Structure 1
Amino acid sequence: MTTSTPGARTRTRRVRTDLLGIYLNDHLAGAAVGVGRSRFAARSHRDPPYAEPLRRLAGEIAEDRGSLLGVMRALGVPPRRHKVAVSGAAERLGRLKSNGRLFRRSPLTLVIELEFLRLGVKGKELGWRTLRALAEADSRLDERELDALIARAERQVRTLEDLRLRAVRDVLLAE
């Protein structure tokens, strides 16, 4: 990216691939958690208002992970498998958290899972926005693809918020 202001010297800035590699691998670890958690939520909640949107979201979140891997390949950033493995194990352990019930799922689990997914998707959106800001300095980043990924993440956040509010009403309001 070339910057110039009147009377200033022109300079070129380039992406710090070393730091970006760490950043992208952290997002890849988060994507592994998101894929696992979204698939688990889709399998666990078969009620009509939740089942189809959760199934669709799980598929999109998995596709987004693939898009991230594609960006990493384009930038020459190798995936750090150990980060992905550790985050995947942590996600599975997180399913064992106490929910006030010993042998079955709490109704509150849906609300918590939707909040967790929404936070993850918002983090993913911010990652895409970071890459979009860098695309002006690095031609290996496809601006149109990143714009589409940002738009999809925004839609996913809205869907998860709609589901979360519905779950809050379904679970926390008494008849």
Structure 2
Amino acid sequence: MDDTQHPAHTDLLGVYLNDHLAGCALGVERARCLAEAERGTSLAEALRPVVREFTEDRVGLLQLMRSLDVPVRRYKILASRLAERAGRLKSNGRIVQRSPLTTVVELEALRLVVEGKAACWRMLRRLAGTDGRLDPVRLDSLLERAGRQADTLERLRLRHAEKVFRPAGEGSARYATQG
């Protein structure tokens, strides 16, 4: 099917991909900030490859957009950066210092970013059957990586949540929160 005959298809695909690009930008920034906040811990070490892969996924999406002649809408990326920064203002039960609960919530948010990326890769993989500009092997690889990222983030989230929500007196005094 020739996209010149169906400009609405290309326009809608452009909106969709730019929305996912904004989500990728948000994910990269959030993952970097979390790794920085947890610097010196095993969590930060485990997040390092995730941050690298998130960055590679963003570049991969930009390459796909170029191959599909979809222009980047920079205002969407700017909006996602503003949303990411606003998200840092959430209440976490602490005023001055970072709450351990923040890490749990951020790991959940990163998991949602991965689920969104996987949904995009699956949709593009389906389109690859009729659009020769899309490489099905590359999309399969991106889908596999998203699965690994989701598994890693879920493992980290559960491990951290167990520490945070462990009853006081079971070695979790450092994680006890007030209010």
The two structures share one fold, judged by TM-score above 0.5: yes
Give me the whole-angstrom Cα distance separating, in 2, the residues matched to 1:87 and 1:48: 28
Unaligned runs of 5+ in 2: 171-179
Residues 33 and 87, structure 1, Cα contact 8 Å, conserved in 2: yes
Give me the whole-angstrom Cα distance separating, in 1, the residues matched to 2:67 and 2:149: 25
Unaligned runs of 5+ in 1: 2-12
Partner of 1:126: 119
Q: SS of the counterpart of 1:90?
A: helix
Partner of 1:95: 88
Give me the whole-angstrom Cα distance separating, in 2, the residues matched to 1:105 and 1:130: 38
Partner of 1:18: 11
Deviation of the 1:82 alpha carbon: 0.4
Count the aligned residue pairs: 164
Give me the whole-angstrom Cα distance separating, in 1, the residues matched to 2:28 and 2:79: 14
List structure 1 segments (4+ residues) > 4 angstroms apart after TM superposition.
none
2:62 aligned to which of 54, 59, 69: 69
Partner of 1:5: none
Give me the whole-angstrom Cα distance separating, in 2, the residues matched to 1:14 and 1:159: 39
Q: SS of the counterpart of 1:136?
A: coil
Q: 1:14 to 1:148 in 2, by over 3 A?
A: farther
Q: Give CA-to-partner distance per residue, 1:28-49, whole Å, 9 cap, x none.
A: 1111110110100111113533
Partner of 1:40: 33
Q: SS of the counterpart of 1:102?
A: coil
Partner of 2:47: 54
Give me the whole-angstrom Cα distance separating, in 1, the residues matched to 2:82 and 2:146: 25
Are 1:157 and 2:157 an aligned pair? Answer: no
Partner of 1:116: 109
Are 1:83 and 2:76 an aligned pair? Answer: yes
Deviation of the 1:92 alpha carbon: 1.0
Are 1:172 and 2:165 an aligned pair? Answer: yes
Partner of 1:8: none
What is the identity percentage for the equivalent residue pairs of Structure 1 and Structure 2? Answer: 56
